[in-house]
Homo-oligomer: A and B are copies of this chain.
Amino acid sequence: MLETTTPDVQGAFRALADPSRRSMLMHLSQSDMTIGEVAGHFDMTRAAVKKHLTVLEEGSLISVHPKGRERVNRLEPNALKSAVDWLNHFSNFWDEKFENLQAAVEAAESNKQ
């Protein structure tokens, strides 16, 4: 009831607060990418990009997989879900639209299992 600071949630929202990081998530939603490939889409040094990717990894929004001398960054949808969950759970208080939405989530989840 009214959880506010689950570490997961904090890490996710923290990572989502920066527009560059949100943009990186967008890129990673289209394909896994090495740090160098990610950096190719941004006007900043690889070191800066790597810091952002570290924040995303700390928030469990991405996972990193060594492959030879490269490190492949992969989107992790589940952690994003924890942010959505926080917002939805919270939203139930005032808007029935969100109740429908949460019901849809639960229905979809039970269908999968």
Interface residues of chain A, those whose CB is within 8 Å of chain B, are 2, 4-5, 9-10, 13-14, 16-17, 19, 22-23, 25-26, 29-30, 75, 77, 80-81, 83-84, 86-88, 90-91, 93-97, 100-101, 103-105, 107-109, 112
Each complex incorporates copies of this chain amounting to 2
| Contacts A2-B26, A19-B10, A100-B107; A84 near B88 (Cβ below 8 A) | yes
Please name all residues of chain B whose beta carbon is closer than 8 Å to the beta carbon of A103 when the two chains form the complex.
104
Interface secondary structure of A, over-half rule: helix
| Contacts A25-B90, A29-B90, A90-B25; A97 near B101 (Cβ below 8 A) | no
Residue in contact with A83 in the complex, picked from B10, B87, B97, B108, CB distance below 8 Å: B87
